Amino acid sequence: MADYAQVTLKHALAAVVAQLHSPQDAAVKAELIAQKQQLEAALSLLSQCDQYGVTSAANFTRLPAQLCNTPSSEYRIIEDCESDNPVDWCEVECLEQPLNHVRLGPGDVVIEC
């Protein structure tokens, strides 16, 4: 399915790029540039969804406002190690993230694939 969508978006992008190469007035050119940017963004998002296995069945959750009203409070992702005791919990490390941590804030979206 994603292959069909990617091919369709790439064809649409090629058509917009071709139109950009022909003479246009400023308003039409601005609209074509906006369309090109939207198509490129859609292709990038679709590629990331494919890479991480995000499908239309994924569950998206927006994090709520924080209960603790301090300037450096943040959400962290932890592994509970099959315990309800926070002493046993450990923070998840992600090697591809700066400092090997995932730091989330209010309004961030978590995707469950």
Residue-wise DSSP of 91-108 = E---TTSGGG--EE-TT-
Q: Quick one: 27 and 45 in the same domain?
A: yes
Closest CA to 6 of 52, 42, 33, 31: 42
Which residue has better confidence, 99 or 1? 99
Looking at every residue in the chain, the average pLDDT score rounds to 92
Alpha-carbon distance 44 to 31, whole Å?
20
Q: What is the pTM of this model?
A: 0.75
Are 48 and 63 part of one and the same domain?
A: no
Domain that holds residue 23: 2-52
pLDDT, tens digit, for every residue of 29-83?
999 999 999 999 999 999 999 999 999 999 999 999 888 878 888 898 999 999 9
43/66 same-domain check: no
Q: Could you tell me if 44 and 63 lie in one domain?
A: no
Same domain? For 42 and 66 the reply is no
Stretch among 2-6, 54-58, 85-89, 105-109 having the lowest mean pLDDT: 2-6
Looking at the structure, do residues 70 and 41 belong to the same domain, yes or no?
Answer: no
- The predicted pLDDT at position 2 comes to 63
Assess whether pLDDT exceeds 90 at residue 95.
no
Taking the CA atoms of residue 28, residue 33, residue 34 and residue 39 in that order, the dihedral angle to the nearest 10 degrees is 130
Both 102 and 63 in a single domain? Answer: yes
105 and 64 housed in the same domain: yes
Count: domains in the chain: 2
Q: Is the pLDDT of residue 1 over 80?
A: no
Looking at the predicted structure, is the pLDDT value of residue 98 above 80? no
| 64 and 88, same domain (yes or no) | yes
- Residues 100, 64 share a domain: yes
Instruction: Tell me, yes or no, whether 108 and 84 share the same domain.
Output: yes
* 36 and 81 housed in the same domain: no
What pLDDT does 53 receive?
93
